[in-house]
Amino acid sequence: MKHKNKKIPQIPQKPQLPQKQTLRLKDNHTWKAPDGYKIIVIERGLVSFNIPQSWHVAKLEPFELNDKAPPNDDARLTTSFWRLPPGVDWTGLPLVPLLAKATEGSDMEILERSDIFPTPRTDLEMIWTEHRFMDPVEKREAYTRIMVARGWDVQVLITFDFWVIQAKKFRPVWDEVLRSLQLGRYIEDPTKGVQLH
């Protein structure tokens, strides 16, 4: 039997995630974080925020941080982000319906929903909400906080899950993430930090 010369279709390979790399900071670096915190920088500064020094990176897609190595963790912070087309006026697409869409359709048993809180910032738009729910595995009450922010041609969704009985411990972590969040920067040399002119 004769076969025509056919090009065999190639199965696209999943792109490999970058390997974790440790770099020594230069003596004149500009990175500054509050005591007890470190700075998380995603895609050379497209998204960055402060997190407690002892937290661990658990996953890269979506980007996930935990207070301890899973499964022994008590808190999880997950970050997803999207590049937006440059030069678009997004005032016609307010963040409130986007946050509502991000929080619908969950199969978790929601016990209580908070209001949506705007976070006043001059450099970006930011809103967040909190849900108290019953964890289906642990059978314990937990909080999930969900934030949407937009600015500098980037939109980010951050969720933060922690046990209700540990709220006093973890609420300051959330406050620092909101305070320190930066979007849309490009950091050429991560060992030096943001270049100050």
* Nearest residue to 36 (alpha-carbon basis) of 18, 21, 54: 54
Q: Find out whether the peptide bond into 71 is cis, omega within 30 degrees of 0.
A: yes
- Share above pLDDT 70 across residues of the chain, in percent, rounded to a whole number: 79
pLDDT confidence band for 166 (50 / 70 / 90): very high
Kindly state whether residue 163 falls inside one of the protein's structural domains. yes
Kindly state whether residue 73 falls inside one of the protein's structural domains. yes
Question: 164 pLDDT exceeds 80?
Answer: yes
Question: 175 pLDDT exceeds 60?
Answer: yes
Kindly state whether residue 127 falls inside one of the protein's structural domains. yes
Tally the domains of the chain.
Answer: 1
Average pLDDT, the chain: 82
CA 157 to chain centre: 6
Kindly state whether residue 28 falls inside one of the protein's structural domains. no
Kindly state whether residue 17 falls inside one of the protein's structural domains. no
Q: Give the structural domain span for 129.
A: 37-183
Paired with 125 in beta bridges are 150
* Pairwise pLDDT comparison (135 vs 21), residue with the higher score: 135
Place of tokens 């059978």: 139
Paired with 49 in beta bridges are 40
Q: What is the pLDDT of residue 131?
A: 92
Kindly state whether residue 157 falls inside one of the protein's structural domains. yes
φ/ψ region of 97 (left if φ > 0, alpha if ψ in -120 to 50, else beta) reads: alpha
CATH number at residue 48: 3.40.1000.10
Compute the distance between CA of residue 118 and CA of residue 96 in angstroms, rounded to an integer: 9
Digit-coded pLDDT (tens) for 1-34:
444 544 444 444 544 445 556 666 666 666 778 8
The answer to whether the CB of 119 falls within 8 A of the CB of 156 is no
Q: What is the pLDDT of residue 17?
A: 46
Mean pLDDT over 97-108 rounds to 74
Kindly state whether residue 168 falls inside one of the protein's structural domains. yes
**φ and ψ at 90, to 5 degrees?**
-95, 10
The answer to whether the CB of 34 falls within 8 A of the CB of 53 is no
Kindly state whether residue 71 falls inside one of the protein's structural domains. yes
